[in-house]
Amino acid sequence: GESVGLHLPTLSVQEGDNSIINCAYSNSASDYFIWYKQESGKGPQFIIDIRSNMDKRQGQRVTVLLNKTVKHLSLQIAATQPGDSAVYFCAENVYNFNKFYFGSGTKLNVKP
Amino acid sequence: DAGVIQSPRHEVTEMGQEVTLRCKPISGHNSLFWYRQTMMRGLELLIYFNNNVPIDDSGMPEDRFSAKMPNASFSTLKIQPSEPRDSAVYFCASSLRPPGEQYFGPGTRLTVT
């Protein structure tokens, strides 16, 4: 039979605009989260992490927001560049367990 | 540091053959992970080791899959016999301490015909 692939949400933005990528996590006990970036043909690469005792964490051009009430995580990328085009995954973890569960990912397309 | 090293980068084999994927973690990292990525199922954890000991292999699909870590600098993932549905990209990752950032290798693209 015909195989059905994952529907990968796609976000298209203009170069220079800000991007917001969202992630809903499943386990209310999860208390550590990581955002990864995966470029075509490469392995996932760490972007930023956040623990559940924080609501917000900032890095270079990236900000992660955590809303534990609704189990939602977002990644904000400022002044998006063509090099930001990739698939972005959130990963959740329950502390003391060295096991992350990855979301299905969001594809970011940056238009020049 | 060279990062996580995986070999081969590409593997094409026929159904029924044995396949061995190899991984060298980053020196000093004490946790190692094997993942499988497909369009249908996304990124799935197969097994992870801590200090060379398998901790959780609940993601290993079936007995055809096995993984070993004979020392801190080498791990293998073996599929015997291989089937077309095993076709995927297999990633190895390592981390310094749990839980924390995992460093992924470039992956092995496996095609079973």
pLDDT at B78: 98
CA distances from A1 to A4, B77, B104 (A): 9, 29, 33
pLDDT at A95: 66
Contact B105 A3 (CB under 8 A): no
Q: How far apart are the first and last CA of chain B?
A: 36
Digit-coded pLDDT (tens) for A44-73: 999 999 999 999 999 999 999 999 999 999
Region of residue A82 (phi > 0: left; psi between -120 and 50: alpha; otherwise: beta): alpha
3-state secondary structure of B33: strand
Residue B31, strand partner residues: B50, B95
Which residues on B lie below 8 Å from A95 (Cβ)? 99
User: Do residues B35 and B47 lie in contact, with contact meaning Cβ atoms separated by under 8 Å?
Assistant: no
Q: How confident is the model at residue B95 (pLDDT cuts 50, 70, 90)?
A: very high
Half-sphere exposure of B9 (CA within 13 A, CB side): 6
pLDDT at A2: 37
CA distance to partner chain A, nearest, from residue B112 (Å): 16
What whole-number distance in Å separates Cα of residue B102 and Cα of residue B106? 13
CA distance to partner chain B, nearest, from residue A88 (Å): 12
B96 close contact with A: CB closer than 8 A: no
Digit-coded pLDDT (tens) for B21-64: 999 999 999 999 999 999 888 899 999 999 999 998 999 988 99
Contact B40 A97 (CB under 8 A): no
3-state secondary structure of A94: coil
pLDDT < 50 regions, chain A:
1-5
Contact B91 A44 (CB under 8 A): yes
Report which secondary-structure segment, H or E, holds B90: strand B88-95
Preferred mutation among A38, A92, A100 to probe B, highest tally of B CBs within 10 A: A100
B101 close contact with A: CB closer than 8 A: yes
